[in-house]
Structure 1
Amino acid sequence: MEQGKVQFEIRAVVLGWQKSDKASVINSILGDKVEPDKYFVKSVRKDGEVNGRKISLINTPCWWENYDLRDLPEVVKQELVCSVFMCPPGPHVFLLVINLSLPFTEENRLTIEKHLSLFGEKIWRHTIVLLTQTDSVRSADLQRIIQRCGERYHVFDFENKSVGVKDLLEKIDNVVAANNANHFETHDDVLLDIQRKRDENERRAKARQETVQEKRDLLKEISKSYRNVYTSQKFGLDLC
């Protein structure tokens, strides 16, 4: 960070299919807040402060590593896209977490490209590839992903977290500067339409739950009345 440079808050969406690595990155930045083995069906926001800077990280549902986007449940697609609305007015950056303990294949690349297409083409100018479990970038398919992100990538050092976080924040600041301090646009009609569908699905689900609960409460009242009648008849009590 250049001396005298204004440090704004950071809003970031964390993407990827490896839940433990995503959790480790978030924990390294904000502290121990996310369980490494917990699978999130809904996006979850975590807030904290690092070196006097406010930071909001959105942990998103994981997609299936080698599955086609068409096979991803609609509710997961909606949660992925709606993650951008959880840090208004919008995220500055997307952190695409990739664990390179296994080879990165063409199938991995295609899966990433299809899932990020949910957000529209502009997502690439706001994305940093965050690599874990590696010290080199050799895969041609991975290099193609990094190229689409404007050659932005960061090898996260979990053993020296303070340095890893400091370097990452500097790269995030560079993304913000490259985008003229503009955040990712959340007023895109496609994104807003997905948000409306998600909200409508949640409204319907809540209405169904309320209806089921009302029926359960009614059955409890009927059962209670029958028990009272049975008790009065058994012991010859007058309920009138």
Structure 2
Amino acid sequence: ELRIVLIGGRYNNLLSGKSSAGNFILGQNVFNTSRRTAQSEARQQEVFSRRVTVVDTPGWWWTWPKENTPKLDQIEIQNSVHLCPPGPHVFLLVIPVDLHLSEQIKSSLKDHLELFNVDVFSHTIVLFTAVAPCNETVESKIRRNPALQWILQQCGNRKHFLNISNREDRDQVKKLLEKIETLITNNGFRHCSVDRSQGETLRKEMRDLTERASKRFDQVQKQRNKLKLQIEGRLQVSFL
């Protein structure tokens, strides 16, 4: 059994490709790629005789500090590790090959990985993704980008390239799973430890936030309806 959590950021209109990568790994279109991921979702399939669980998560803005990420997104990211009990074996940090990462992302990445309360870097493989044939090799991009070099150093230089436009090439996935198993072995077959009580606390926070948002929405709708009635009443008076 392999338990995988997909993490990563967003930049302008370029999505991270986490959902597409999850679909590619599982060999099924189980994650919706037509919209941004708002909630952490877990899906499971048998892949090369292994039971593989993949958890997709909301992406944060690559250059934003954690405090600028909506609280609900933060909770959903934290909750991802509770959707693959007893805990994930690996985090795949998904980075599109076309994305140019500036030095700003260092603090943002550190900030957001602190949401997990574990040493995420020691359980992470950087997953470079491309949706079209790449004109430039990943290695040459890394050589020209100090931020990418720093990320890879934090992750023990573990990386994999996935051409998600070539869905027929399942050998890409096979090699990725082999790299994950090597990482698990090097980590002493330990998965990331997960605090169950924290999971319950997060679910309660999500319920509370959702209820408050629902109440605010109801209040806004009531105010709009009240205003609409007032405007309609004034219009009727003006016609008399």
| Pairwise same-fold verdict (TM > 0.5) | yes
Range with greater deviation from structure 2 (25-34 or 164-173): 25-34
How far residue 37 of structure 1 moved from its aligned partner, in angstroms, is: 2.3
Which deviations, in whole Å up to 9, do the C-alpha atoms of 1:99-119 show, x marking residues without a partner?
121322111233222211222
Gaps of 5+ in 1: 1-8, 212-240
Q: Could you say if the C-alpha distance between residues 205 and 98 of structure 1 is closer, same or farther in structure 2, counting changes exceeding 3 Å?
A: closer
Alpha-carbon distance in structure 1 between the residues aligned to 2:53 and 2:79 = 15
Q: Tell me the equivalent position of 2:231.
A: none
Answer whether contact 1:157 1:163 (CA < 8 A) is retained.
Answer: no
Q: Per-residue displacement from partner, 1:140-177 (whole Å, max 9, x unpaired)?
A: 11111111111111111332631210110011001110
| Structure 2 counterpart of 1:27, from 23, 26, 42 | 23
Which of the residues 149, 153, 157 maps onto 2:155? 149
1:21 and 1:132 in contact (8 A); partners too: yes
Name which of structure 1's ranges 46-55 and 199-208 shifts more when overlaid on structure 2.
199-208
CA contact (8 A) 2:87 2:193 kept: yes
Q: 1:200 is matched with which residue: 201, 204, 213?
A: 204
Match of 1:231 in 2: none
Match of 1:91 in 2: 88
Structure 1 residues 30-179: aligned runs within 5 Å? 30=26, 31-133=28-130, 135-136=137-138, 137-138=142-143, 139-158=145-164, 159=166, 161-179=169-187
When the two chains are superposed, the root-mean-square deviation of aligned CA atoms in Å is 2.4
One-letter code of the match for 1:174? T
TM-score (norm 1): 0.75
- Please identify, of 54-63 and 111-120, the stretch whose mean Cα deviation from structure 2 is larger: 111-120
Question: Structure 1, residues 179-204: CA drift from partner, whole Å, max 9, x if none?
Answer: 111100113xxx854x3442223444
TM-score (norm 2): 0.75
Counterpart Cα distance in 2 of 1:141 and 1:169: 26
- Aligned residue for 1:200, secondary structure, equals helix
For 2:203, give the aligned amino acid.
D
Unaligned runs of 5+ in 2: 216-240
Structure 2 letter corresponding to 1:43? S
In the TM superposition, residue 38 of structure 1 has moved relative to its aligned partner by: 2.0
What SS does the aligned partner of 2:24 have? helix
In 1, the alpha carbon distance for the partners of 2:209 and 2:69 equals 20
Q: Distance in 1 between matches of 2:87 and 2:110?
A: 21
Q: Sequence identity, in percent?
A: 33
Does the 8 Å contact 2:6/2:56 carry over to 1?
yes
CA contact (8 A) 2:16 2:96 kept: no
1:15 to 7, 29, 32: 7
Q: Deviations over 1:51-90 (max 9, x none)?
A: 1110000000111222111111111111111110110000
Alpha-carbon distance in 2 for matches of 1:20, 1:127: 16
- Structure 2 distance, partners of 1:208, 1:110, is 31
Kept in 2: contact 1:109–1:142 (CA 8 A): no
Alpha carbons of 1:204 and 1:54: their partners in 2 closer, same or farther (altered >3 Å)? same
